[in-house]
Chains A and B, each alone.
Chain A
Amino acid sequence: MSDNTTLPTGLISYIYNVTNDEALKQRATDNLAEVMAEFDLTADQKRIITEISLETGLTDDLWDQLSAELRPEIQHTIKTIW
């Protein structure tokens, strides 16, 4: 999966693809800002991912923040939007 221009944007897509695509994982290690921009992450999402990358693991607070950012993508069902 090297053609990143076709990957859907968003936080779930970022986490899934960076976890499962070794080439992308390496690029994220080398240039995190560039990869996060490709997935069109919001400023808050970028901040949380950057903080996570500086930690050895997810702290409780970072886990709460990451969950809050993932929630709209996970919980989304069209019947509840209106």
Chain B
Amino acid sequence: MKYSKSELYSIALDSEVQHLNNTVLEELQTIVSEIPENIHAICFEKRIDQFEDPVDFLVCYYCSPHNLDSVSSYINQKNPNKYALRINDFISNRKHSPAYKLVNLIWFSFDYEEGRYSTVPTFCVSTQHCQFSDFSLLSSFIINASEILAPEFLNKTKELLPSLECTRINHFSFTFGRKEFRAKFVFKLETLRLPSLLKDLDWKGNLYLLEQLLNTIVHISDEIQVGLSYSTELSEKIEIELPWITSLDENYLKDSFLSSLRKVTEKELSTNLTPWLNLKVQTGYYIKITLTSASELNIKSYLYSSPYKKRK
């Protein structure tokens, strides 16, 4: 059983976890009315310490031929800047090139920056396919796609990839919706293996603070998902995604862990996120901790919902 995009959006807004001001709501409504139907999931990205702040809004499409046509047509209606053209080049390849057929999901992120949502969204490509466990296949696909999506950073992409063979790359993305254009790898690995990987990459961020954070996280999960951004150089920023919470049994955001997290991040989780699980559609969430280049730790929540009715 599947709800339409407007129904899902309304259901998601009904959650008591949501606190969006009217300006943001109006702008999001415009985005929702314009994006193609047949969405696979949506996500609200919110800071947990400033819950009323504007949110980034993400939408996911399954790569069926019809969806690819709809998405391509939607992107064509945007300002035809070079980034929109790159997205459509990628979609064209997804439709016609066998090497691209393993991509099942694509994401758009409408990023809120400088008081408005981006026109051309940030673009994310899922590489979650069993055949991509062949790293040479995955690697050559990413390089090929990066030639289309971020040729400016191609050398860095090629330089970084070999070190990531010990990880599972689940997504790569391009911040077309941000003022600063960057590429990003999102990958899974064992929590305590991250520091040695970063040393191999000659990462210049605050390793001491990161290790403190990882030593806290390892008590709830021996695996994390990491977002590593780059342009022509590797960013000092790093993002750590904690595990999914899709039921109350999985909720690790409890006193003991939150207390340890607060000592490292100096941030307070001010909102109870568990009501997000009460919606009638499939839902889940996690938190992501970002270590910035200024050695600050910010925490965001990612509230996902899909148009499929909750299974009993």
Q: Contact partner of A72 among B40, B69, B246, CB < 8 A?
A: B40
Q: Assess A78 versus B246: contact at CB under 8 Å? Given A10-B1, A72-B40.
A: yes
Residues in B whose Cβ lies below 8 Å from that of A12: 1-2
Residues in A whose Cβ lies below 8 Å from that of B4: 9, 40
Within 8 A of A (CB), among B271-285: 282-284
How many interface residues does chain A have, given as a range? 20 to 34
Let me know if A54 is at the binding interface, CB within 8 A: no
Task: Return the chain A residue nearest B63 by Cβ.
Answer: A72
Let me know if B266 is at the binding interface, CB within 8 A: no
CA distance A2 to B143 in the complex (A): 53
Q: How many residues of B contact A (CB 8 A)?
A: 35
Q: Contact partner of A9 among B3, B170, B302, CB < 8 A?
A: B3
CA distance A78 to B285 in the complex (A): 9
Residues in A whose Cβ lies below 8 Å from that of B282: 76-78
Let me know if B157 is at the binding interface, CB within 8 A: no
Let me know if B304 and A42 touch, CB within 8 A. Answer: no
Q: Contact partner of A81 among B64, B69, B304, CB < 8 A?
A: B304
Within 8 A of B (CB), among A11-60: 12-13, 40, 42-45
Q: Assess A79 versus B246: contact at CB under 8 Å? Given A42-B38, A42-B67.
A: yes
Task: Return the chain B residue nearest A43 by Cβ.
Answer: B66
Let me know if B1 and A42 touch, CB within 8 A. Answer: no
Let me know if B38 and A40 touch, CB within 8 A. Answer: yes
Interface flags, B1-34, vs A, CB<8A=1, else 0: 1111000000000000000000000000000000
Let me know if B64 and A78 touch, CB within 8 A. Answer: no
Let me know if B64 and A42 touch, CB within 8 A. Answer: yes
Let me know if B91 is at the binding interface, CB within 8 A: no
Let me know if B309 and A8 touch, CB within 8 A. Answer: yes
Let me know if B37 is at the binding interface, CB within 8 A: yes
Let me know if A78 and B38 touch, CB within 8 A. Answer: no
Let me know if B306 is at the binding interface, CB within 8 A: yes
Let me know if A82 and B2 touch, CB within 8 A. Answer: no
Let me know if B62 is at the binding interface, CB within 8 A: yes
- A sample of 25 cross-chain residue pairs with beta-carbon separation below 8 angstroms, ordered by A number, consists of A9-B2, A10-B1, A10-B2, A10-B307, A13-B1, A13-B2, A40-B37, A40-B38, A42-B64, A42-B66, A42-B67, A72-B62, A76-B282, A76-B306, A77-B282, A78-B41, A78-B244, A78-B284, A79-B244, A79-B284, A81-B40, A81-B105, A82-B60, A82-B107, A82-B170
Query: Residues of A with Cβ closer than 8 Å to B?
Result: 8-10, 12-13, 40, 42-45, 68-69, 72-73, 76-82
Known: A76-B40, A78-B305. 16 other contacts (CB 8 A): A9-B3, A10-B1, A10-B307, A13-B2, A44-B66, A72-B40, A73-B2, A76-B282, A77-B282, A78-B41, A78-B284, A81-B41, A81-B60, A82-B43, A82-B126, A82-B302
> Which 10 A-B pairs rank lowest in CB-CB distance, beginning with the nearest?
A10-B2, A42-B66, A8-B1, A78-B284, A72-B62, A44-B66, A81-B41, A79-B244, A78-B282, A43-B66
